[in-house]
Amino acid sequence: MKWELLNDTPFLMSNETDQITIFDGENIAYKGLRETLFPEQAEPEVTLTVAECGEFHTMGEFYENIPTVDEAVAIWKQIPPERMNGIPAIGINIHTPGTEAFEDVEADILSGNRIDLDILEFIPDIKDSPQAMEVIAELVAKLPEMEIDGNMGEELEAKVWEKRMPGLTPAEQLAVEIDRFTYDYDAALYHDNSQSMTENVSELAEALKQRDTHDMALWLTEIATDGTEPEERKKAVELLEKLAEYKPLAKIEETEEQNYNMVDNVLNNSAGEKVSKEENKKEQERPAAKTSLKARLSEKKALVSGKRKDHEMQENIKNNQREM
């Protein structure tokens, strides 16, 4: 064995124990060779900054080391709009423990009323950092009114909608669930029929509000009955139940003089309305929402059976009248 130098520090290597002895001039320490040569890299610290002037951070107020998106947005909103020092900005900062502050990676992501995602293409240290992208996704989610410069990409867009879920309307929440189920079920088909998740969720939510759910229900029913994967069938049934229970027109019925009896099977039309007998019959025969696909199919079967019995009874009455 002999002494060698490691980063200007003498060390003694033992071939028998795969251990090295480090002597710094005063103390002796014993460490494993792999631990010494390949230390585990510490997790980067991702924080936010808020600048009164995005162009020159030294002009006006500047806040750094902000730990959460909520705090950064609150500080950003408190900057008086009448100040003329520049355009307020929210930035992201990545610090690697053990390095100097001047080595940090920093960039403004929000400036004025725009979120700049294009800039990430030129800063791989941010784009390739899962922690940083998680923070950016939350920033986009918390400020949906901001204009987006650049393409979010599927992964970031999905994270944004996931973080928005608690604040969405019931129709939007269900639209997100159906969108993600469609993507997971057949990504190729999803890409063929959807331009982006945001546009798809918007169209689905509007369809739910308008009760235009026929095609969705048919597709989910097909998967629920003939799907190859048990988890897919289970999820399809779950979405069908939510689709059946969702009644977006329940509140409108109280104020609009239209035939919204399809909501609760109770007519509330004014005397002056003209509703065709055929339409009224269809609405009265519409099955009520049930808790499962099986229950709704059973009710439909019973309804058809009841109609047949009524029809047979009417035929018997007519035949008796003819005989008389």
**C-alpha radius of gyration, the chain, whole number:** 32
81 phi and psi angles, rounded to 5 deg: -65, -20
- Alpha-carbon distance of 319 to 324, in angstroms, equals 9
Instruction: Fill in the amino acid letter for 107.
Output: A
Q: How confident is the model at residue 319, as a pLDDT?
A: 61
Q: How confident is the model at residue 197, as a pLDDT?
A: 92
Q: How confident is the model at residue 211, as a pLDDT?
A: 85
Q: How confident is the model at residue 71, as a pLDDT?
A: 97
- Alpha-carbon distance of 14 to 16, in angstroms, equals 5
- Alpha-carbon distance of 53 to 131, in angstroms, equals 26
Q: How confident is the model at residue 322, as a pLDDT?
A: 56
Q: How confident is the model at residue 320, as a pLDDT?
A: 61
- Alpha-carbon distance of 32 to 240, in angstroms, equals 58
Q: How confident is the model at residue 10, as a pLDDT?
A: 53
Q: How confident is the model at residue 310, as a pLDDT?
A: 58
Q: How confident is the model at residue 313, as a pLDDT?
A: 62
Q: How confident is the model at residue 309, as a pLDDT?
A: 54
The ranges assigned to domains in the chain are 3-37, 41-151, 168-268
- Alpha-carbon distance of 293 to 290, in angstroms, equals 7
What are the C-alpha distances in Å from 317 to residues 76, 293, 305? 79, 37, 19
- Tens-level pLDDT at each residue, the chain (324 residues): 444 555 555 545 454 456 666 666 677 776 665 555 555 667 899 999 999 999 899 888 999 999 999 999 999 999 987 776 689 999 999 999 888 999 999 999 999 999 999 999 999 999 999 999 999 999 999 999 999 999 888 999 999 999 999 999 999 999 999 999 999 998 888 888 767 899 999 999 998 988 888 888 889 999 999 877 899 999 999 999 998 876 544 443 443 444 434 444 444 444 444 444 454 554 455 444 333 334 444 454 455 455 455 555 666 665 665 555
